[in-house]
Structure 1
Amino acid sequence: MSIEKMNKDGNYKTFVALFENKVVGFITTVQALSIGDEIGYLHIQGLAVQKELQNKGIGTKLLKYVEEYSKRKGISSIILCSGFKRTDAHAFYEHNGYDKDSYCFDKGL
């Protein structure tokens, strides 16, 4: 899928955190289809906050914003994947109420 098609699709969203009119963090999502669920789920594809501004609540605010956005759209499930070595990120997600309940698999082609 090309970037242009993704933008027109409307299922892809990127939300940013601003500090002093500068982007200091972002979260990018896609609403995906799910068997047995008409609306599907929201997949967080990326979340990042500037290194020097981490641990200041910005990432949590981005997550909470996406959760409220999902509720407004009638989406009842959010998933994300995180690499095994990103233990700080895992602690962050767990602190924000996310459960480790599956593995994500990928295959380069």
Structure 2
Amino acid sequence: MTIREAKIEDIEAINQLNTFPSNHEYPLEEAKRQLHYLLSSPTNKLFVSVIDTKVVGYIQLSEYVCTYGPKLMNILALVVNENFHGQGIGKSSLTHAEVWAKENNADGIRLNSGVERTEAHKFYEHQGYKRVKNQVNFRKLFD
């Protein structure tokens, strides 16, 4: 397995991972537009995990800077194709993200995980992440 920065050509695989297992259906053309933006952004990074030329997972990070805490990198997504679970891909993705975050002067990493994702919580805790608080997520989309 190799981990590399995402390329625009990876969008179909990324979009498929977003749809299943993540249940985030989003039109491919819109996802492609978002990926174009992310690839050009100095404060966002998306790495893909590749086995035999096939994208089997990805991790997305974004800078998290506020006036009440240190500069962190925020993991927005960590997805591994279910057929490849248990092969160390998630762990390797986290390690890769942590190295990139340190190289970009972050003091650490934060992430949010849905309350129902108990297996993911165990995984993150096993990787040294600490549960900080429970939250409710709000969203308002503009027309």
Do these two structures clear the TM 0.5 threshold for a shared fold by scoring above it?
yes
Q: Quote the Cα distance in structure 2 between the aligned partners of 1:62 and 1:18.
A: 11
Partner of 2:76: 45
Partner of 1:65: 96
Q: Quote the Cα distance in structure 1 between the aligned partners of 2:87 and 2:121.
A: 17
Partner of 2:108: 77
- 8 A contact 2:39–2:46 mirrored in 1: no
Partner of 2:65: 33
- 8 A contact 1:13–1:30 mirrored in 2: yes
Structure 1 outlier segments of 4+, above 3 Å: 2-9
**Matched pairs, number:** 107
Q: Does 1:12 align with 2:6?
A: no
**Which whole-Å deviations, capped at 9, do the CAs of 1:33-91 have from their partners, x for residues lacking one?**
12156x72100000000101001100000000000111111211210001111000000
- 8 A contact 1:34–1:41 mirrored in 2: no
Structure 1 residue 97: Cα displacement = 0.4
Q: Does 1:104 align with 2:135?
A: yes
Q: Secondary structure at the match of 1:74?
A: coil
TM-score by length of 2: 0.68
Structure 1 residue 12: Cα displacement = 1.2
Q: Quote the Cα distance in structure 2 between the aligned partners of 1:59 and 1:92.
A: 9
Q: Quote the Cα distance in structure 1 between the aligned partners of 2:49 and 2:85.
A: 12
Q: Which has the higher strand share?
A: 1
TM-score by length of 1: 0.87
Structure 1 residue 9: Cα displacement = 3.2
Q: Does the C-alpha gap of structure 1 residues 104 and 77 become closer, same or farther in structure 2, counting only changes over 3 Å?
A: farther
- Sequence identity, in percent? 29
Q: Which has the higher helix share?
A: 2
